[in-house]
Amino acid sequence: MKKLIAIDLDGTTLNQESKITDKTAKTLHRAIADGHSVVIATGRPYRMSKNFYHDLQLTTPMINFNGALVHLPGKKWADEQEASINRRIVFEMLAEKKNLKLDFIAAENRDTFFIDDLKFFDQHFFASDFATSDNLLTVNTLRTNPTSILLRSQPENVVGVSDELKQQFGTEVEVNTWGGPNPILEVVAKGIQKAHGLKRVIKSLNVKQEDVLAFGDEHNDVDMLKFAGWGVAMANGTDQLKAVANDITEKPNTEDGLADYLTKYLDL
């Protein structure tokens, strides 16, 4: 039976340098050539993941912002969906920034971003060559409800910040860790998870839930792995994710664990 392979990026498909190795790319291409489908499901915004979509030459829908944006890149798609957060929450977080021990707060949508302190702008992180005063997060620049809020703290503070945000705003938003090397928290609308986006994709593509093969490494992948017919946690994944997974890769993302697992599981 042909599978829909849902892949997280950071800590799963990407290596320690945030790249897709030749081995992983070739393995995914072999899977597609054999009739399987590959769908990216990531916490990253589209502008920070579209290069991987194009490098893999995908034509399937894509899930960004942990399910808040489900779209078919570069094309109109009847099943496209984008969930937003009330902008009021952004400014309430800004007021609490010092108490929350945050380095920066950024509000994002599909095409652009706003950050409260331009000294934290990083070309790679925000997938942009430059930032101007137009990108400064203020009441005057953020005029619409964002799709996602990104928060950076120090690694030792992330868990505490997450707990505090859930206590203050938990009735309106979901709080997830981003995965990978950055101590980033992503905030999306309440009820939005990768599984939410995946349900929309398989319905559009007429794929059965039991034929979904999903890979992840962080707690924002828990619902996706539980939803999938077969959920696989990376060897480098969190204990929380491994506890709900059907299986665990033998190798971590730094050793092409995804590629090795697919090769054996799909008999490529």
Residue 206 — φ and ψ, nearest 5°?
Answer: 60, 50
Coil, strand or helix at 19: coil
Coil, strand or helix at 216: strand
| Alpha-carbon distances, residue 88 vs 91, 93, 107 (angstroms) | 5, 9, 11
- Under 8 Å between Cβ of 38 and 53: no
Q: Are strands 104-108 and 113-115 parallel, antiparallel or unpaired?
A: antiparallel
- Under 8 Å between Cβ of 11 and 18: no
- Under 8 Å between Cβ of 137 and 159: no
Q: Which helix (H) or strand (E) holds 247?
A: strand 247-248
Q: Which two tokens stand for residue 140?
A: 């005057």
Residue 55 bears catalytic tag: no
Q: Among 8, 10, 217, 221, which one carries the catalytic annotation?
A: 8
| Alpha-carbon distances, residue 193 vs 66, 78, 177, 189, 247 (angstroms) | 5, 20, 12, 9, 21
Residues with catalytic roles? 8
